């Protein structure tokens, strides 16, 4: 690799890394807000906030990295034009098409990283996160309950207190629960009990040897009952939808399934690394600018290319999921035209113009 190519490689890589860092910070901020809302609704235990943030950020890499690569290359190549460095390189025979080496060495690791995150790490992280939440909903310890302290149930479902808690967080002693059911007050005490999970979302407190007091607040209509065993439902978590189930499914399992929703998820995962490669090829011709043109004049047009490509991929994924499009067709009807257009622009941009020389004498 020539010295100038190593210089361009370092410049491209630094810009792409800087753009990636900015986009990741913005994405993590939005992801943190979504997780905070899920914690407030009781869908995710508060103790798992940071771990879920880290696991879900892996899936966000597949969306952030293609755009970061595209913007980073656009900005770095556009700076070469605005500083007239590209014209100097062209004068010594290094036209735009000769920049394929530094472009490849920057783009290839990003494409491989996106493919790894999309096809393997993302589903693995989604499965691990789902598994952690399921385990947490079987344990009061992970859900944030501490013995000897009153704790509010998720979703304003009431107040819970236990004096002793087992190491695994499922069994307890001396329980007190207060719940508001409409205009009625429900108070339950028990000597012992345990937390059980029925199905995927329903949690039940199985209580032994206790009392239950129920009645309308402000009236004398109260009843007290003694029970040997009593089951109390803890407010349910919202069930995961089908898309979240597929997000936690391995790529091999999606291919084995073969149904429309599974093939839709598979083609979406495959589309992300392909999109990153196509956008890298688009970056070089779209970053071109003439000396007196506005700086980064084609950036808005380049972003339009990214937005249109993403919208087409989302539309195609939706059609595949509904079975309105053959699974064999996949999203290739988006990839192939974009790749052909990017290759044509790259080839056209890479041709050095012939310079006419005036041989006439002054």
What angle, 0 to 180 degrees and rounded to 10, lies between the N-to-C axes of helices 299-322 and 49-82? 140
pLDDT of residue 157: 60
pTM of the model: 0.70
- Residue 141's pLDDT is 44
pLDDT at 115 (0 to 100) = 92
Residue 134: alpha-carbon gap to chain centroid: 20
Cα separation, 105 vs 101, whole angstroms: 6
Contact 42, 155 (CB under 8 A): yes
Q: What would the pLDDT profile of 133-177 be if each residue is shown by its tens digit?
A: 776 665 554 455 667 777 776 555 678 788 877 766 667 888 888
DSSP H or E segment with residue 212: strand 202-216
């Amino acid at each position: 690799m020539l010295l100038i190519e190593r210089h361009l490689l370092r410049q491209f890589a630094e810009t792409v890394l800087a753009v990636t860092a900015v986009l990741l910070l913005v994405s993590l901020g939005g992801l943190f807000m979504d997780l905070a809302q899920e914690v407030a609704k009781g869908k995710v235990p508060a103790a798992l906030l940071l771990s879920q943030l880290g696991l879900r950020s892996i899936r966000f890499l597949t969306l952030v990295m293609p755009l970061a690569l595209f913007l980073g290359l656009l900005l770095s190549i556009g700076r070469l034009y605005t500083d007239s460095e590209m014209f100097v390189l062209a004068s010594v025979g290094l036209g735009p098409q000769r920049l394929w080496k530094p472009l490849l060495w920057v783009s290839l690791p990003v494409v491989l990283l996106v493919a790894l995150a999309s096809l393997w790490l993302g589903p693995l992280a989604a499965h691990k996160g789902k598994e952690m939440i399921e385990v947490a909903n079987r344990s009061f310890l992970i859900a944030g309950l501490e013995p000897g302290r009153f704790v509010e149930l998720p979703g304003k479902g009431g107040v819970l207190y236990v004096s002793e808690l087992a190491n695994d967080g499922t069994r307890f002693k001396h329980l007190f629960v207060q719940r508001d059911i409409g205009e009625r007050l429900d108070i339950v005490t028990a000597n012992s009990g345990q937390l059980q999970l029925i199905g995927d979302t329903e949690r039940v407190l199985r209580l032994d040897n206790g009392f239950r007091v129920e009645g309308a607040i402000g009236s004398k209509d109260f009843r007290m009952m003694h029970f040997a065993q009593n089951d109390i439902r803890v407010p349910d978590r919202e069930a995961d939808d089908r898309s979240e189930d597929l997000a936690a499914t391995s790529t091999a399992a999606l291919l084995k399934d073969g149904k429309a929703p599974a093939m839709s998820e598979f083609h979406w995962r495959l589309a992300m690394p392909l999109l990153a490669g196509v956008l890298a090829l688009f970056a070089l011709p779209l970053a071109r600018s003439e000396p007196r043109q506005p700086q980064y004049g084609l950036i808005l047009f380049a972003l339009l290319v990214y937005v249109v490509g993403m919208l087409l991929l989302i539309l195609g994924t939706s059609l595949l999921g509904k079975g309105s499009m053959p699974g064999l067709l996949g999203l290739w009807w988006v990839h192939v035209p974009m790749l052909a257009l990017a290759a044509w622009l790259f080839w056209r941009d890479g041709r050095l113009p012939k310079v006419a020389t005036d041989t006439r004498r002054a």
